[in-house]
Structure 1
Amino acid sequence: MQQLSALSPLRLCLPGFSLAQTLCCGQAFRWREQEDGSFLGAAGAHRAVIRQRGEEILIESDASPAFWENYFDCRTDYEAIRRTVASIPALEPACRFAGGIRVLRQDGWEALASFIISQNNNIKRITGIIERLCCQFGEPIGGGLCAFPPPERLAGLSPEDLAPLRSGFRARYLIDAARQVTGGTVDLAALPALPTAEARAELMKIVGVGKKVADCALLFGFGHGDCFPVDVWIGRALAELLPEGLPPSLAPCAGIAQQMIFHYMRACPDRAAAKAGEC
């Protein structure tokens, strides 16, 4: 395991949690699994090495314990949420397979920019674009990592300036987002307190931000746990598992259920075995 410093690692006890599923399920794109099973990466301007030992999570970082407790959503009762999701027979296999996932509480701007980049893209390419974005325009934070660039850094750029990222049409959207945020047209700080529909409408002022991208940003960056982003994988899941739509009992934790379903649909090697309790 790489060592960041002589700092004593923060220890979190998270029953039922899977670090690997949480960091690799498509909600964050800056974590790399190391040969020893630990994860090296960054959240905002903080780099960290994180590993799991049973229910214990060890984090070596320059950030405060409060930062990581918030990042891993430690105040939410995931045991209760897992019971709620598993109580829906069609979702019980997904909960069994991906119930260790938590929805990370990421920086709002980072989440917004990341999911603008995610449009019509796959996780490998998204990860590469974001890595190049941070290396090109972010401040170094050590260990070969750079902070996620703030909107002020991108607002004065042109799509041509972002050409080395190989982000295609998304460059124009990213710059428009940076300009609207820095110019005050879109107030990111206000979004957590707004009703979800109003917060979604605010983000959709940005060129290229539709409902799916807005819902992803709101879920992963602004604490709107009722958001249920629908992409190709979730569209298939709804048709296959929930043809009558999302049960009302899941409304308060729809976003967490969405991540479990998404990871199950995308990563479960044999959904038939999972349904039979063998996966």
Structure 2
Amino acid sequence: METGAIQLRDLAGPFDLQATVESGQSYLWNRADGGMYDALSVHGGDCWYETVVPPVDGVSDRRAVLRVRQVEDRLEWESNVDAVPLLTHLLRLDDDLDAVLDATPDLPLLSRAYDAHEGMRLVRDPPFACLVSFICSAQMRVSRIHGMQVALARSYGDAVEFDGETYHAFPTPERLAARTEAELRELSLGYRAPYVRRTAEMVADGEASPEDALGSPYPEARESLTRFVGVGDKVADCVLLFSLGFLEAVPIDTWIRTAIADHFPDCDRGSYADTSRAIRERLGSDYAGYAQTYLFYYLRAGGE
């Protein structure tokens, strides 16, 4: 087992682990005490968080078990690999958060959201697992979405032994494609079961991959992801933002529609595409996804 610590003073801008992994961006981390997503608004905790990460191009060539917690001015970690490159990648520790937020508009609502959840960063989740997570997200509370991903991993993911404990990797596309719709429905996926199965089949057969969106202009990247069954514009934007690094993406969900209605009514242009373009411009274009995520978390937690 390898262990280490990342000094937060060495980062460009603040960081808060709990807000980052429990803000509704990612459903692939588990909290060691079992309290993941028990509360609507969390910040500043020192719980251990755990995940199993597949190899990441240019970052790690091994499947890794990661355990991490924030203690005062550092991130303490345990892993079967050197976790610094992976944590830097997954938690966007390489972002200059102050510069990012300074590049978004000076709006009172945004200022309140930034103050409420200081140090929250976006995540870079593994693309296939992120895609499945957000296919499962339709009309679901964050705790239920997380529960589905835990169930998929425990039922169909590889068991990985680490430090005397058993962890479960997220299932590969091949493993999920081999499941029946009935088996997936037993994990409470409901009508999403055939979407997950067919999407896994598309990736396993080489018909399509979420990574195909990389390198494309944002509109074409979003269109690329809508090839997958059960993926509309909003889910595509989630995958672009929380996995593939398109920081301009603004997923328009219930909370962002509320923000538009209450604070930016002129951005409501009727269609998703036109409204998306308008709200992206209002929230700062290049880093609009950061502003969106702070607004989502702030409003969901009862901030207004």
Q: 1:39 aligns with which of 48, 52, 64?
A: 48
Partner Cα distance (1:63, 1:210) in 2: 36
Match of residue 56 from structure 1: 74
Measure, in 2, the Cα distance between the counterparts of 1:204 and 1:232: 20
> Alpha-carbon deviation of 1:164?
2.4
- On the 8 A contact 2:16/2:119 being kept in 1, the answer is yes
Kept in 1: contact 2:222–2:240 (CA 8 A): yes
* Structure 1 SS opposite 2:78: strand
Instruction: Describe how 1:230-269 pairs up with structure 2 within 5 A.
Output: 230-245=252-267, 246=279, 247-248=281-282, 250-268=284-302
Q: Distance in 2 between matches of 1:226 and 1:195?
A: 11
Cα distance change, pair 90–40 in 1 and its aligned pair in 2 (3 A): closer
33 and 242 in structure 1: CA distance in 2 versus 1, 3 angstrom threshold = farther
* Aligned equivalents of 2:282, 2:257: Cα separation in 1: 18
Provide the identity percentage: 30
Paired with 1:86 and 1:57, the residues of 2 have a C-alpha distance of 30
Deviation at residue 47 of structure 1 after TM alignment = 2.8
Which amino acid is the alignment partner of residue 265 of structure 1? L
Of 50-59 and 135-144, the range deviating more from structure 2: 50-59
Specify the alignment match of 1:9 in structure 2. 4
Residue 190 of structure 2 aligns to a residue whose secondary structure is: coil
Matched residue, 1:109: 128
- Rounded Cα–Cα distance in structure 2 between residues aligned with 1:88 and 1:146: 42
Matched to 2:245, the amino acid is G
Q: Which residue of 1 aligns with 2:39?
A: none
Q: Is the 8 A contact 1:200 1:211 kept in 2?
A: yes
Matches within 5 A, 1:20-169: 20-29=18-27, 30-32=29-31, 34=33, 37-45=46-54, 46-64=64-82, 65-85=84-104, 87-142=106-161, 143-169=165-191
Distance, in Å, in 1 between the alignment partners of 2:146 and 2:135 is 13
Task: Decide whether the 8 Å contact of 2:31 with 2:50 is kept in 1.
Answer: yes
Query: In the aligned structure 1, how far is the partner of 2:52 from the partner of 2:215?
Result: 22
Q: 2:227 matched to which residue of 1?
A: 205
> 1:127-165 CA deviation, whole Å, 9 max, x = no partner?
111111000110112333200111111112220121321
The one-letter amino acid paired with 1:79 is D
Aligned partner (choices 217, 220, 238) of residue 195 of structure 1: 217
- Cα RMSD after superposing both structures: 2.0
Q: Deviations over 1:203-248 (max 9, x none)?
A: 1112211111111011111111111001101111122222233345
Deviation at 1:49, TM superposition (A): 2.3
Point out where structure 2 has 5 or more consecutive residues left out of the alignment.
36-44, 55-63, 268-278
Contact 1:216 1:227 in 2 (8 A): yes
**Structure 1 letter corresponding to 2:298:** Y
Cα displacement (A) at 1:88: 2.1
1:249–1:157 CA distance, 2 compared to 1 (3 A): closer
Question: Aligned to 1:9, what secondary structure does the other structure show?
Answer: strand
Partners of 1:90 and 1:242 within 8 A in 2:
no
Contact (CA 8 Å) 1:49, 1:61: kept in 2 or not?
A: yes
Structure 1 partner of 2:276:
none
> In 2, distance between residues paired with 1:86 and 1:31?
34
Distance 1:253 1:72 in 2: 16
1:172-218 Cα distance to aligned partner (Å, 9 max, x none)? 00011111112222133332211121121121112211111111011
